[in-house]
Structure 1
Amino acid sequence: MFAKKSILTASVLLAVGITGASAADWSDTSIGYRYGTKFAEPFNNNDIKKNIINLTHASGYKYGSNYFNVDMLMSDSNDSPTTNGVPNKESSAQEVYIVYRHTFDFGKIAGKSLAVGPFRGFGFTAGFDYNNKSGDSYQSKKRMLVAGPTVMMNVPGFLNISLLQLWESNEPARAVFRQPGRYHYDPHPMLNLAWGIPLGDSGFSFSGYANFIAAKGDNENIAKTKTKAETNIDMALLYDFSGLIGAQKNTFKAGVGYQYWKNKFGNDHKGAAGNGAYAKTPMIRAEYHF
């Protein structure tokens, strides 16, 4: 039942997004690349190299905005089925992770500015996450719906703060480690910050997101270990190199990124999940906007 509701809700949200995009006031689409050598996965004590290619689209229309991102993550052989935390290196994991968010802007809907003090506006955000991973021990198949209020801060660029309720489930391949069938975690809240801020006229911009996620009840394993609250912060400092390739401003950006992820996926980094549940990952990044 949850799966059917998830598909229906995702379809409605995507339809709303497509409708909004067709009459967009503004839009930005980009292809990006990220690379790092210190990615981490729970229950795996090895540093993992990953190449990540992403397609991102953001747009604004009469009543709000859309955000859509697809990450294609390709790991090295350290991200493969493990025995006692040691990768068997029989394969390497590949993953697709999709995020969609639609924000209704109450000011746009009302036809007037609702700005007050440090707040540019107010809205309501809904969307979904979807992933599919193969080649590792867990083989995640996450499905998640999100919804909650959003405030837009009055800063250069944007800074949106959302308090979202999450409805998450998973159906990993290794049935021996989980309850049979799709497992549903307890509904739980997340405080989300998303930003993209130009640093004056320097050519640099600071962008990223921060998720502070509450514990989500029991894990899906047969032992029913308790999940932990997690913190996931992903940020980038990029420079606009568009002039070097004869392109318009903000077409080509490159620089560095960093991801901090404590208790990854709700796994206790002080428990059996070990150091792999506490990622501290520097990266190089590049984006081409069109």
Structure 2
Amino acid sequence: MTNHDEAAAVRPLTLAWVSRHLEAGERIVKTEALHGGITAEIRRLTIGAPGGSTRDLVLRTFVNVEHAEDGLNREADALTLLTGTDVPAPGLVAVDPTAAHCAYPSLLRTHLAGRTVLDDEGLETRVPLLARQLVAIHALRPAVRPREYVTLTTADTVVTPKGADAAAWAAAIDVIRKPPPPYEGRFLHRDFQPGNVLFDVPPSRPADARITGVVDWAATSWGPADLDVAHCSTNLALLHGPAWGLRFSEAYEEAGGVLAATANERLYWQVRDGLACSEEVQQVAKTWREAGRPELTTRTAEERLNAYVTALMDALA
């Protein structure tokens, strides 16, 4: 077996566990580290068959085990639920949420074709595709609902970026001091954003881009559609500028999605996600840089987040 790089190395216990879930005669011939994960290490495993053919699997390993069991169980449940639906998600191969067999809690899934696309070019084509895909996710009605959504950000934990519009941020923080507005529950991805969506983009026909998969279902929840829309909006604002963050909710409605009835109710969820990002903007910016956007420094991300939150508050005025 060869490693693409040192980061791709998999612990022997975990390799043995993976091997037990392969077809007869198959073996792992290569491992490759993939970028983009914040909570887990992600590796592509190339599996060789006796006849010389190969296939790929993906291994997610939670080295930080604090929330691993819950996240892996939820992801396994979600992948099982999504089998046979119109939502392009990976297939579950095996899961070891408590590291009973692996060095760390792990999940093994099928590999999907396509790649994440984080460039500004072609965004006007991809945003409507993202919106339509999220509407399809929210349309699912599972027989067993996932757990109710959780938000950890409070008015006291928000980190106001240096140089931010103090008045706008103070007003935004006041918004989330209020109780959440009533909502009709939906099946939520809870981390739906460009880094978790795979595309096929023909080089000669970028307008023919299509989504080939949605990954990372570890935070699947039940809650307001606005929460997923707000999360994708915040990420679009950081990646491509505040105008694209504001545009996404419009694209979601154009795709047939239904958001909260009033502007104030919508603002609550939009602001809540924007403020939540303030607590982890440094890590988010680092992830985007590693995924191919080296110009997105922490300072650039903070400036875009400030501009986005300010624009949300200005829109209400």
TM-score normalised per structure 2: 0.26
TM-score normalised per structure 1: 0.28
